[in-house]
Amino acid sequence: MTTNSGWRRGATVLAALAAVLLPTAAPAAATTAPAAGMASARRDLPEPPPVDVVRVELDELTVEAPHSIDGYSRERFPHWIKIAGECDTRETVLARDGQGVVQDDLCRAVAGTWTSPYDDKAFTDAKALDIDHMVPLAAAWRS
């Protein structure tokens, strides 16, 4: 991105894109009950914006040629935050966007099905899915 505000807008657009990477065919309510010891009240996540809106916003982004990796550190990018009990952002999104999602006592998705809207492939291993970004952080840092 070319400016700070452009970077922030780009980050917002990329977050919106990440939210639409997995279909929302099954709402979180269709998953199994919250894990043992987890607070029963879950924070509702906002619905992703429509794909056509995200595509228009992505088309408006300006991407420069890659820059130096100087200053990059993975530690500068905090990981998942807790949403409710043991459930973090990743597990909450996986439960929201999957079908037949089963979570263990640490809220990890141990079963379920997720479908890629890009190629219509189905996944049954949550570990094979990225819910937050399609571009590695170091590559984003350079651009």
Over residues 35-84, the pLDDT tens digits come to 444 444 556 778 888 999 999 999 998 877 888 999 999 888 887 888 98
Check: CB of residue 100 under 8 Å from CB of residue 60: no
What is the predicted pLDDT for the residue at 72?
Answer: 92
* pLDDT, position 31: 37
Strands 109-115 and 99-103: antiparallel
Domain range summary for the chain, segments of one domain joined by +: 4-142
pTM of the model: 0.50
Alpha helix stretches (DSSP H) within 20-143: 51-59, 89-97, 137-142
Higher pLDDT, 132 or 42: 132
Q: Which residues, in sequence order, are bridge partners of residue 122?
A: 115
Look at residue 75 and give its three-state secondary structure.
Answer: helix
